[in-house]
A and B are shown apart, each in its own frame.
Chain A
Amino acid sequence: MTAADSPPSNDGHPDDVRADVPEQEPVDRDLGRRRLRAALNSRPTRGQLVAAVLCALLGFAVAVQVRANQDAGLSGLRQTDLVRILDDVTERSARLQAEARELEGTRDKVSGSGTRAALDEAHQRSRTLGILAGTLPATGPGIEFTISDPAGKVTSDVLLDALQELRDAGGEAYEIGQIDGAAVRVVASTYLSDASGSDPRAGIAVDGRVLTSPYRFRVIGEPRTLAAALDIPGGVLDVLRQREAQGIVTQRSELTISSLRPVPEPEYARPAPQKSSN
């Protein structure tokens, strides 16, 4: 406490770094400890009080700074650092937003309204195709056309003519059956033939299934158009009359075609990749 100067603390002489060499002399032995002890035991003077105040200030500042640093707030940072952090955050946020958009798109694709519409459309399409292919029952207005053939002169070509007339008249779903028996759903690939070569009484095979008179067509379509198509001069009804058969057309506002045909699994054909959705 009595010496005159403390150069190591404040002026950074080169001696500071290599000042240790002379102090290893035995003369200094225990001198430092004695001085320390003396300083600790000494009575406070005014100068010491000032030093103590400064030390208190240092401790206070250390504690405050450590505490503030633990808070790790942004307020203590420089402007350049803040700008850098802001850039980082902005970039990160943009990246995350892009990611979020991507994920939202995926979510919409998986479960969103767009998919639902596509799904509904696909369902609608499948229903339409099911009616056309005869795999779904169909209901709607239409006609029943009954042919009774007591003379046995109605051959398959007559029924085929009748069917073609009804197709031309805009029929949408057909079945051919017996009055009280089984019915066969008529589709694009349906064929009609005489069941046994020359004798019409044996019946008519529709898609290989033999039907006998009286036959009954049930057709969904515009009832009046369908009925008119059969009634044209020289048309189906005239032919039937010529063959001593009787054709009765009944218009119905509501009829249901419930006969179905199995869905054929194509063995060779595969769906070609679609170029555009249609």
Chain B
Amino acid sequence: MIAVIGLLVGIVAGLFLEPSVPAWLQPYLPIAVVAALDAVFGGLRALLDGIFDDKVFVVSFVGNVLVAALIVYLGDQLGVGSQLSTGVVVVLGIRIFSNAAAIRRHLFRA
């Protein structure tokens, strides 16, 4: 419950504060957001599976974000930043979809 509230608070804060993204963060923020989304969906699925754990969630959240940012950074250094970003987004998207499928089966049995 409090997590949902936190999400809403974060969105509202982002909309109303309108902070500008610092330049060094700009390439990483979209990938980090997608990675965090993956972690959240994974967490939701684990919750429905009855195996949710705060620590694991936190670690997976932070880990996902850091690894995604690292991959993008590495890609930028290697000159394949945009391609690697696309790859990361595709992989994370697949994971989000599979997690979403599992959640759907839990909630709607379909």
Contact = CB atoms under 8 A, between A and B. Distances in A.
Interface of A: 1-12, 16-17, 19-20, 23-24, 28-29, 31-33, 35-36, 39-42, 44-65, 67-69, 75-76, 78, 80-81
Interface residues of B, number: 69
A123 B1 CA distance: 92
B27 A76 contact: yes
Contacts of A28: 106
26 contacts: A2-B50, A3-B52, A5-B51, A10-B42, A10-B56, A17-B94, A19-B102, A36-B106, A42-B1, A48-B54, A51-B54, A54-B36, A54-B61, A56-B9, A57-B10, A59-B6, A59-B8, A59-B12, A61-B14, A63-B14, A64-B21, A68-B20, A69-B30, A76-B21, A80-B81, A80-B82
A177 B26 CA distance: 97
B46 interface: yes
B42 A44 contact: no
Given A6-B52, A59-B14, A44 B81 contact: no
A28 B13 CA distance: 38
Given A55-B40, A59-B11, A64-B19, A5 B57 contact: no
B59 A10 contact: yes
A29 B50 contact: no
Contacts of A3: 46, 49-53
B108 to A, nearest CB: 9
Contacts of B38: 9
A52 B50 contact: no
Interface in B57-96: 57-64, 76, 79, 81-82, 94-95
B8 to A, nearest CB: 7
Contacts of A64: 14, 19, 21, 29
Contact of B53 (A4, A19, A59, A68): A4
A6 B43 contact: yes
A48 B2 contact: yes
Contacts of B21: 64-65, 68, 76
Q: Is the interface of A mostly helix, strand, loop or mixed?
A: helix
A4 B51 contact: yes
Contacts of A78: 27, 76, 81-82
B9 A59 contact: yes
Interface of B: 1-15, 18-21, 23, 26-27, 29-30, 32-33, 36-43, 45-64, 76, 79, 81-82, 94-95, 98-99, 101-103, 105-107, 109
Nearest to A54: B61
Contacts of B43: 6, 9, 51
A65 B60 contact: no
B2 to A, nearest CB: 4
B98 to A, nearest CB: 5
Contact of A9 (B12, B29, B32, B41): B41
A28 B82 CA distance: 42
B54 A50 contact: yes
Contacts of A7: 46, 51
Nearest to A53: B6
Contacts of A68: 20-21, 26, 29
Given A5-B53, A52-B7, 5 more contacts: A6-B56, A9-B39, A50-B58, A62-B33, A63-B12
Contact of B58 (A51, A62, A67): A51
Contact of A6 (B26, B51, B81, B95): B51
